[in-house]
Structure 1
């Protein structure tokens, strides 16, 4: 899983021609921490078909605001640099995330 930050987000996500799953999280967000093991599991399960990356929004606030990340956790799918789908807060359950991932593989 790639670690994103304010320096590499544009290059790795917005300028990418691949399909990526991006986990927007914060260390202080309990639901984010609860979801993280599932995201890691999905990256191992589907990593040969999709790229996985994560961004700590507390260290990249401008990037998060620019991507209209208003609450956490957010799991987003980017295709050719465009956000095409996302799950926010209570909708970001392991089951919903896996269903979303399966649409893009």
Structure 2
């Protein structure tokens, strides 16, 4: 049988351990959910959780209380790993057909 310690050691965000322990006890002892099912759900969703920016990984207690172990993992999608800057967006806007420089009292770029 899975213990809280085993589950917590695998969970990717280590915050508010005491609250996580309380949530574990609520989910397993009081509500009768199987610790092994909770661990299986974590393992099933672990790759998705670790792909996220750490600030978007829920605290352990939140994950437990929302019964996220029952969730199906999101399909893996290709992600652009490069960061888009404001300069990129400005360049794309200025070179697009949507830009009408004369509407703002500015000269048009590339169209005469």
Question: Which structure features the higher share of strand residues?
Answer: 1
Identify which of structures 1 and 2 has the higher relative contact order when contacts are C-alpha pairs closer than 8 Å and 6+ apart. Answer: 1
Q: Give the TM-score normalised by the residue count of structure 1.
A: 0.31
Bigger Rg, structure 1 or 2 = 2
Q: Give the TM-score normalised by the residue count of structure 2.
A: 0.30
Question: Which structure features the higher share of helix residues?
Answer: 2
